[in-house]
Amino acid sequence: MTFDLPQTWAEQPVGMRDVYPEQAKYRRDIESKLLAFFEQHGYHMVSSGAFEYVDTLLRGRQVQEADDWLRWFDPNGRMVALRPDMTPSIARMAAPLVASGTKEIRWCYAEKVFRRSNDPASLSWVSGKAAESTQVGVEWIGPAANRADVDLLALCQRSVEHLGLADWQMVVSHAKLTASLLEVLGLSQEARETLMQYLIRGDYVGFRQVHADYGITEDVLGALAQVNPLDHGSLSAFLTYSREDNPTTQRVWKLWDELTEFASVLAVQGLTEHLSFDFTLTRDLSYYTGIIFEVFVPGVGAPVALGGRYDDLLAQFGSPAPAVGFTFEVERLLTALTDGRWLAESMGKGDVR
């Protein structure tokens, strides 16, 4: 007598996905192609363990960010997590070298990262909510803004073109400008933090509702849309204050002058054809301090590449140094490169491609 037992052994945890031979080879080839390109531009490959102590990952971050991590206690009672991104691990590795006098570090990597979603039904590599994904990126420690930012954005754009992607768009923002502009409007800290959370989630309907609840009559999103560092005078669409009005306004104008200088260099170097500025773009990683950017392609609902400047993070490891970097999200990238076929074929449908 035989019994048909449920094949629970064939199931996978939520967010995991098998990749079959042809697709696995294609992914490896793309990773190798990116790494070789980065090495040609002076970046050296490093690797780190997938586990980090939670107190390491929390340096330069808000405690609540740990809610999206996969965590447990090790035998010594310290909380450990699967790394959610590579930048803190890079900072931890680089800090002793910076402390010993190393002035500049250029590293690249290809590693798995792990995140958790509270909505398992929506887990998808395309939407950006996958529990496991692959990052291939670079980190440049030592140079300050703005020229290094230009060089890094140029490297990212050349990487996209090196892969043969078409119809891509780079969106650039700044980690501090939008919050500072909300402060100039005279909003309370509570109001600013609430509105920034709506921007992080991309919930513009909620943003408009909340700013109406706070009694804001200005069209803040509309004003932000008019702000473009390629046009120095465009800040007037948001600010009607003079440069000497108050310390907050003066700080915004100083940042704006830096951004317009940065934008002018981008234009001179021919890097603005596929680039736009959008200061509604914000990031939920609190360690960013300057330029942030993302690269989008049609058919993928999340950025295929993203990065930014994080000048304060190394100081959290005892070795202050400016830094900037970016990473490709490989599974999203492969879906874009194959018009979605890679994602479908990696779901166990064989090796036809």
DSSP 1-37: -------GGG---TT-----HHHHHHHHHHHHHHHHH
Q: Which amino acid is at 307?
A: G
- pLDDT reported for residue 37: 98
- Asked if residue 60 is part of any domain, the answer here is yes
What does pLDDT average to in each consecutive run of 10 residues of the chain (353 residues)? 59 74 90 98 97 93 86 93 94 97 97 76 54 93 93 98 94 93 84 88 87 80 89 82 75 93 96 95 85 93 94 95 97 84 54 33
- pLDDT reported for residue 125: 52
- Asked if residue 103 is part of any domain, the answer here is yes
Residues 266 and 150: beta-carbon distance below 8 Å: yes
Q: 286-290 long-range CB contacts below 8 Å, 24 or more apart?
A: 286/60, 286/61, 286/62, 286/65, 287/60, 287/61, 287/87, 287/88, 287/312, 287/313, 287/316, 288/175, 289/175, 289/176, 290/145, 290/149, 290/174, 290/175, 290/176, 290/324
CATH code, 142: 3.30.930.10
Could you identify the residue written with the tokens 């909340």? 210
- Asked if residue 118 is part of any domain, the answer here is yes
- Asked if residue 105 is part of any domain, the answer here is yes
* Domain boundaries, position 127: 19-168+331-353
Domain count, the chain: 1
Residues 323 and 140: beta-carbon distance below 8 Å: yes
Radius of gyration (C-alpha) of the chain in whole angstroms = 22
- Asked if residue 163 is part of any domain, the answer here is yes
Residues 233 and 217: beta-carbon distance below 8 Å: no
- Asked if residue 121 is part of any domain, the answer here is yes
Residues 184 and 241: beta-carbon distance below 8 Å: yes
Distance CA 41, CA 124 (A): 32
- Asked if residue 142 is part of any domain, the answer here is yes
- pLDDT reported for residue 347: 53
Q: Which amino acid is at 114?
A: F
Tokens encoding 293: 């950017």
- Asked if residue 300 is part of any domain, the answer here is no
Q: 249 vs 172, 184, 195, 235, 252, CA distance in Å?
A: 22, 6, 19, 12, 5
